[in-house]
Amino acid sequence: MRLEERCDGRTYIGLTSCTRARMTNRAAISVHSCLLLGTSLLAASAVVACERDKSEPPPLPGISYPPSPQELPAKPSDAPGPRPETAKTDAPKVEDPMADLDKDMARVLAEAQALGGKPLPGLKAEEARKQPTLTDAVKSVLKKDEKAITPEAVAKVQDRNIPGAAGNIPVRVYTPTSDTTPLPIVVYYHGGGFVLATNDVYDATPRALANGAQAIVVSVEYRKAPEHKFPAAHDDAFAAYKWVLKNAGSIGGDGKRVAVAGESAGGNLAANVAIAARDKQERMPVHLLLVYPVASSNMSSESYQKYREAKPLDKNMMIWFTEQYFKTADDGKDPRINLVAANLKGLPETTIINAEIDPLLSDGKLLAEKLEAAGVSVKQKTYGGVTHEFFGMAAVVEDAKDAQKLASERLRGSFIDAAKATDATALGK
């Protein structure tokens, strides 16, 4: 059974190649900024008007543009008689994709814009990794509100190295305050387009899930592109999962109650871990938590067209990420990337969380449909007024608090069900 939920009744209209961000009685902010996926704010350029000419890119499908001066009909003569009607030149008004940002989301993007940065396309990965991050922007908002920037407290945080697919990789283990032992485990994979980010940048989500789900969270630092091409990150993700299954007791966890979770590129990795576990006859995770996952190679989907110039993630950035990670364009056809074409039968209960203002929105919705068709129990929820990367911003974005609560409740439910199944097996039922 599939449950789908929308967190906001508003609708959003497509965008033009030259747009102006505006928010009615919410926040006035121009957010033509280019941010690295999950990590970096890139240079902003407030654009208030543009003219069509031969140098412009092709118009977006379904959007009407005003005719150029050369296309307008000639001025009627002053001769007697009825004048011919002049063609109307007013094009339909097209809303900017960022116009309906929630006020708190808008504040984060405004701070991100103020931090500066360089446009992602054309940068080398090494330079891209040095750009300001959205985590920096959240801290800036907190400072302006005179609030503490210290992270959410957990009982213990431990960094260690474990075997990856081609050598050791770092992981960070978060343990919540709890009187219960052993605890269930969540293996978590951060975002960053398979290129960017670290466990430091994505520190907020594991802390929130550890406390909310009352579980140990193992955050995996997989290999990145372009130094390590596809499928290096995928191989490391599965190697880390297998290590957790075999070594759960050493970190105070229960190897029979292990879930996988991930954001963006990490959501793709999490789903692939479950598929690989099924195919290689490893113990299956008890739950999949996928937050705005990369799930399709189709960059012409409805949300890619509608939010192709959204921030912090836009279509050009997604193209850049694929150029870094893929060896060839054919890698995009691989079902490990194009999850919606993969065999999804037999996967565990799944939660998919999406942001409305995000090119990856269609990926999440289509993946939910495909999972349902494969007989998987899935709940998909879209949060309106927020963008890609909102999930870890609970300190300043209200919808992130709700999304984290939903994720934690779903994880706890699957952990309880898994415990009951284990007890029933032990009793011979």
Active site residue 32: no
Provide φ and ψ at 2, rounded to 5°. Answer: -115, 130
The span from the CA of 71 to the CA of 73, in Å, is 7
Where are the extended beta strands (E) located within 308-411? 350-357, 378-387
Length of the chain: 429
The amino acid at 386: V
Neighbours of 95 (CB within 10 A): 16
Q: Is 284 exposed, middle or buried (0-12, 13-18, 19+ CB in 10 A)?
A: middle
| Set 30, 287, 388, 408: catalytic member | 388
Name the strands in the sheet holding 2-6, side by side, starting at the edge strand that comes first in the sequence.
2-6, 378-387, 350-357, 288-291, 253-263, 183-189, 216-220, 168-175, 156-163
Active site residue 388: yes
Active site residue 178: no
- In Å, how far are 267, 307, 383 from 299, measured between CA atoms? 18, 11, 21
Where are the extended beta strands (E) located within 152-293? 156-163, 168-175, 183-189, 216-220, 253-263, 288-291
Three-state SS annotation for 143-172: HHCCCCCCCCCCCEEEEEEEECCCCEEEEE
Give SS3 for 373.
helix
Pick the closest to residue 2 from 356, 404, 344 (CA basis): 344
Whether the Cβ atoms of residue 339 and residue 271 lie closer than 8 Å to each other: yes
Tell me how many degrees the CA angle 369-371-376 measures, rounded to the nearest 5.
130
The span from the CA of 98 to the CA of 96, in Å, is 5
Pick the closest to residue 176 from 381, 418, 411 (CA basis): 411
**Token pair listed for 386:** 């927020």
Place of tokens 């330079």: 127
Spell out the residues 6+ positions from residue 392 whose beta carbon is closer than 8 angstroms to its own.
135, 202, 204, 205, 208, 263, 400
| Set 104, 358, 363, 399: catalytic member | 358
| Set 33, 40, 219, 264: catalytic member | 264
β-partners of residue 218 are 173, 187
The amino acid at 397: V
Positions marked catalytic: 264, 358, 388
